[in-house]
Amino acid sequence: MHSAANHSLFIKHFNTSFIALFAYVDDVIVARNNLHEVENLKTRLNSQFKLKDLGNLRYFLGLEVARSESGIFISQRTYTLQLLEAFGCLQCKPSSTPMEPNLN
């Protein structure tokens, strides 16, 4: 069934397992707690669509995803650098206050 809040999110519950599938145009993320069920899902989808499994999620819609022992971390570092370069601000120096503090 698809989520009422987001029609791109599909969720399936069965016994103690779940699969969440998020689709955006031709990109898909699958989250699960049962690897066997994901393999079944990929087999079924591959019979209808041409799939390319890219492995663990690393980049999606401008979000960089990194995993470690501490957890999962999400950033937009690459996207931010691209914006800074596009607007000629890549060499700008950081400022603790973006404008004069006493400006009226």
- Is the CA virtual torsion 66, 68, 72, 73 positive or negative? negative
**39 alpha-carbon distance from chain centroid:** 20
Q: Give per-residue pLDDT as tens, 34-57.
A: 888 888 888 888 898 888 888 888
Query: Which pLDDT belongs to residue 12?
Result: 86
Mean pLDDT estimate for the chain: 87
Whether the pLDDT of residue 99 is over 80: the answer is no
Q: Which band of pLDDT confidence, cut at 50, 70 and 90, is reported for residue 17?
A: confident
Amino acid identity, residue 74?
A: I
Q: Which band of pLDDT confidence, cut at 50, 70 and 90, is reported for residue 26?
A: confident
Query: Which pLDDT belongs to residue 65?
Result: 93
